[in-house]
Amino acid sequence: MLCKSAWLVLLTLAIVSRCPAQATPLPASGVTGVVLTEDGQLAAGATICTAIRHEHGEAINCQVPTDSEGRFVVHLKPGTYQVLAINAGEGYSIENQSPGQDVSVTPDQPWPNVTIQQHARGGVLMGSITDKLTGRKIKNALVQITAIDGIGENSGTTVQSDFRLPVSPNCDLLVVVMAKGYRGWIYTDPSNPSRPVLHLASGEQKTVEIQLEPLPSQP
Whether 136 contacts 130, CB under 8 Å:
yes
Q: How confident is the model at residue 24 (pLDDT cuts 50, 70, 90)?
A: low
Phi-psi region of 34 (alpha: psi -120 to 50; beta: other; left: phi over 0): beta
Please tell me the least confidently modeled range out of 50-59, 109-118, 140-149. Answer: 50-59
pTM for this structure? 0.70
Return the pLDDT at 17: 47
Count of CA atoms in the C-beta half-sphere (13 A) of 37: 16
Return the pLDDT at 1: 44
- Cβ neighbors of 213 (< 8 A, separation 6 or more) are 132, 133, 182, 183
Q: Average of pLDDT values for 10-28?
A: 54
Return the pLDDT at 12: 39
CATH level 3 topology of 123-212: Immunoglobulin-like (2.60.40)
Q: Average of pLDDT values for 148-175?
A: 89
Q: How confident is the model at residue 176 (pLDDT cuts 50, 70, 90)?
A: very high
Please tell me the least confidently modeled range out of 9-23, 69-83, 87-101, 183-197. Answer: 9-23
pLDDT mean across residues, the chain = 87
Higher-confidence residue of 5 and 199: namely 199
- Is 30-117's fold the same as 123-212's? yes
Q: What is the pLDDT of residues 78-91, one digit of tens each?
A: 999 999 999 988 99
Q: Average of pLDDT values for 163-182?
A: 94
- pLDDT of residue 6 exceeding 50: no
Segments making up each domain of the chain, as ranges: 30-117, 123-212
Say whether domain 30-117 belongs to CATH 2.60.40.1120.
Answer: yes
Q: How confident is the model at residue 56 (pLDDT cuts 50, 70, 90)?
A: confident
- Cβ neighbors of 155 (< 8 A, separation 6 or more) are 144, 145, 165, 167
Q: How confident is the model at residue 20 (pLDDT cuts 50, 70, 90)?
A: low
